[in-house]
Structure 1
Amino acid sequence: MSERRSGEGQPDKTLALLWRNHRAAAPAADLPERRRGAGRRPSLTVDDVVRTGIQLADDQGLAAASMGGLAKELSVGTMTLYTYVPSKDELLDLMVDQVLAERALPGPGEPRPDDWREQVEIYSRETRAMFQRHLWLSQVSTIRPPVGPGMLAGREYLLSVLLDLGLSARETNTAALAITTYVDSAAGLEAESQLVERATGQTNDAWWYERNDLWETYFDVDRHPAMTTIWHANGYQSSTREAFADSYRYGLDRLLDGIEASRRT
């Protein structure tokens, strides 16, 4: 499946749009709602455009959230749409950061569990649920993320969880990045799996079943002794979803065990 990258828009325009609702007393000239000038009062807002883009991507896939597709959905001309969002690059950043902000992560001063591992579980649960609501997110590379309030809220939350563990500042940041990398990558793969099933109309288990001849005709037990040993010991799960759930849980638990061990050293 094709992939797009966030962080490709013009920095000044992207930042102004990402933080449009988070600046106090911004001069009218800076507000990105619509270019100023004579004419009718705008019937749309940037929020309307972003919300519609997300809905189109949810329902029809990321490609549907093009500038032309959005203009048609909103019943405006494409050139009119460009007065709200400069290009598809800025639009993508706005969409990604908006769904990142959907996660119910406790902010400063808000109640949260006492145990730090339970707090990490909130990040894990909310992030996986976000990817499941917006499967298209698995098609977006965030190596250069949208530096908006949604992204920063996730970073702030994990750092706040780990800040009191007695790690150095560098270790705290590294541990938070490790959790983000693991959870976000795994959640993205899970969403991509669901996206493929939706696009093809075939489950992953059915796909593997069609290739059962691999084991009967081509699999050489002498060249794959470790796989054979696991097979005879009933070490493989019965479905790909069970395999993912077990491996995800195992990986996250071991990662948190390692952070806990660093805390004691």
Structure 2
Amino acid sequence: MTPPQKRTQRRDTSLTTERIITAALQISDADPNLERLTVRRLAAELNVGTMTLYSYFRSKEDILDGMADHVLGRMQLPSEPDSGPAEALRTVGHAFLSIMRDHPSVVRLFASRITDSRTALRGAMEAVLQRLVDSGIPGPQAVQCYGFLITYAIGFASYQTPRPWGRLTNDEGTEQLRQRSHFYAGLPIEEFPQVVNLADEVAELPYDSTFDAGLEAYIDATVRTLAPRS
């Protein structure tokens, strides 16, 4: 009689750290509550056992660090050098806004924890500071600029995310804007005279032009401090 073959547990070769982090980002980008990203929920999304994930990441904290690595560590800045401080500030500001909008979970990561990930620090801090310094901004002031740009992008992305018509250029965006403007215009004018009279402008607050206006004002003010004094 042939003895039964011994069963061996094999690691799912289709599962990778990259696939796990991608799934975690998909869940957290779609869900405004980062607490609902659990190891159990992530395992179910990947159709694997919970303990399987622990062979890749020791804890949820490690997964969150992996998410920061994935997004912040891959922050993209143009390869061409900037023509000066103004262009560098503009480049960095838009790069920050881009990653915040592509991955809303990053906004919540910044709001809930401090990452010690070297990959994230290299991509979204060291590279940015170097960019600003290379453009002619002194180091201490470059740090201040970094602080403003990242918090400004976080704030605007947080405001724009639940107001998607600010980014949509199709018929859906036009209709959402019309409905919001109609809502503001329909408020009691004796209680909200400014909002009613400026309904169209208020409805357009989530537009990228609002972000650009604030960014350009900051750039102008910063560049003036760098101008040589006679």
TM-score, L = length of structure 2: 0.71
**Cα drift, residue 146 of structure 1:** 1.9
Query: Hey, what does 1:82 align to over in structure 2?
Result: 54
CA distance in 1, matches of 2:164, 2:105: 10
Taking a change above 3 Å as real, the CA distance of residues 152 and 238 of structure 1, as seen in their structure-2 partners, is: same
What is the aligned length?
209
Q: Which amino acid aligns with 2:54?
A: Y
CA distance in 2, matches of 1:93, 1:192: 25
Matched, 1:53 2:24: yes
Taking a change above 3 Å as real, the CA distance of residues 119 and 169 of structure 1, as seen in their structure-2 partners, is: closer
**Cα drift, residue 251 of structure 1:** 1.2
Matched, 1:254 2:217: yes
Contact 1:50 1:95 in 2 (8 A): yes
Structure 1 unaligned residues grouped into runs of 5+: 1-37, 196-201, 222-226
Secondary structure at 2:62's aligned position in 1? helix
**Cα drift, residue 71 of structure 1:** 0.9
**Cα drift, residue 260 of structure 1:** 0.8
Mapping 1:32-47, distance limit 5 Å: 40-41=10-11, 43=13, 44-47=15-18
Structure 2 residue corresponding to 1:240, chosen from 203, 208, 220: 203
Mapping 1:102-141, distance limit 5 Å: 102-106=74-78, 110-141=79-110
Secondary structure at 1:214's aligned position in 2? coil
CA distance in 1, matches of 2:162, 2:72: 17
Q: Which amino acid aligns with 1:123?
A: V
Contact 1:54 1:65 in 2 (8 A): no
CA distance in 2, matches of 1:172, 1:238: 33
Query: Hey, what does 1:185 align to over in structure 2?
Result: 155
CA distance in 2, matches of 1:236, 1:209: 7
Q: Deviations over 1:40-70 (max 9, x none)?
A: 3563332221122123334566666431221
* Greater relative contact order structure (CA < 8 Å, 6+ sep): 1
Structure 2 residue corresponding to 1:174, chosen from 140, 144, 161: 144
**Cα drift, residue 212 of structure 1:** 4.1
Taking a change above 3 Å as real, the CA distance of residues 136 and 41 of structure 1, as seen in their structure-2 partners, is: closer
CA distance in 1, matches of 2:208, 2:132: 25
**Percent of aligned positions with the same letter in both sequences?**
21
Q: Deviations over 1:178-219 (max 9, x none)?
A: 222223322332224339xxxxxx947635634544333533
TM-score, L = length of structure 1: 0.63
CA RMSD of aligned residues (A): 3.5
Q: Which amino acid aligns with 2:21?
A: V
Mapping 1:144-183, distance limit 5 Å: 144-148=113-117, 149-164=119-134, 168-183=138-153
Query: Hey, what does 2:226 align to over in structure 1?
Result: 263
Matched, 1:206 2:179: yes
Secondary structure at 1:215's aligned position in 2? coil
